[in-house]
Amino acid sequence: MAMDTSLLFQTLSVKGRTLRNRIVMPPMVVLRGLTTPEGVEWYGRHARGGVALVIVEATAVNRFGGSHLHLAHSGHVRNEDVTPLTAENLRPLVDAIHAGGALAAIQLFPVSFGRPVSPAMLKRDEIDGILAGYRAAAGICREAGFDGVEPHGAHGYVLNLFFSPVKNRRKDEFGGDGLLLYRHTPVGQGYGIEESLALAEQLVKAGVDILDISPSSIEAPGDRAAPFKRFGVPVITVNELDVVERALEALREKRADLVAIGRALIADPDWPIKVKEGRLDEIVKCTRCDEMCFGNLKKGIPIECTQWA
């Protein structure tokens, strides 16, 4: 008997925009650029593969011209794209994603990706520069046609560190409970679910439309996202949800509204179409080897996949 995957392909309306299904391409740094033909084709191709929402990779707000924060490079990403971003040169990227049938969002990172920053090392004027950068970036993204932006407040990066009472020892107004986030890790250094729920409540009151909770545990898909459903906005969950049964469980048990498929979309951008059409045996499956995706990222070269023919 064929697997019923219809839950994955229900539409969802958020603030006047309709997602064609419940599948999200999460932000993954791919080192192809956002204004290059290669970068535009990469994201357009994944939109054509059937996802509902493409979240473009973490992009530093200082590339949009609103922030002048320049910090020493860590050497983590040697091939980092530093092209200044404008509404005009971003529009082909947005158009390619929309032409593929998906909504387009972009993840905004406070500083250039891979640069080590902590709350203690930032001066007041540098924090002001980051905030100005977010405002400028959001305006340019709106003008370019993006449907949304996602501040990266997860995985121990700088916004997440501001939320951690262990890592944020500042005594000024930027100390304490943290900054406005969008993507959030629910359990981190010095905080747990209850603290994260308190933050999420404030985020929703401030106007956040979707909570992107990363990651869930491997034991139960969407388990750490489920508590955030109480706030009445859609919740994204992630973690090995290319296993179709896990994605369906997260939706069926109402732990999340949207499921993010990451490395599996690198292996096979047609994963959504093949699942919808019942062609599960044709999916090029991610083996989670991390050799040419994360491995290439560490080398500073465009990511690929060992499973590509």
Tens digit of each residue's pLDDT (9 = 90 or more) over 117-145 = 777 777 888 888 888 888 899 999 999 99
The pLDDT of 165-173, averaged and rounded, is: 62
The more confidently predicted of residues 112 and 295 is: 295
Closest CA to 58 of 153, 178, 140, 164: 153
- The tokens describing 92, both together, are 């082909």
List Cβ neighbours of 251 (8 Å cut-off, separation of 6 or more): 7, 8, 22, 222, 257, 259
Give the model's pLDDT for residue 189.
80
AA letter at 166: V
Q: Which of 119-123, 209-213, 247-251, 295-299 has the highest mean pLDDT?
A: 247-251
Closest CA to 272 of 95, 57, 25, 55: 25
Closest CA to 57 of 90, 31, 21: 31
CA distance 263 to 287: 9
Give the model's pLDDT for residue 295.
95
Give the model's pLDDT for residue 42.
98
User: What value does the mean pLDDT of the chain take?
Assistant: 86
Give the model's pLDDT for residue 259.
97
Model confidence at 4: pLDDT above 50: yes
Q: 286-290 long-range contacts, Cβ below 8 Å, gap at least 24? A: 286/242, 288/263, 290/263
Kindly list the structural domains of the chain, giving each domain's residue range(s) and its CATH number in brackets, ordered by start.
6-152+234-299 (3.20.20.70)
Give the model's pLDDT for residue 173.
56
Model confidence at 77: pLDDT above 50: no
Total-model pTM: 0.87
Closest CA to 123 of 84, 76, 87, 70: 70
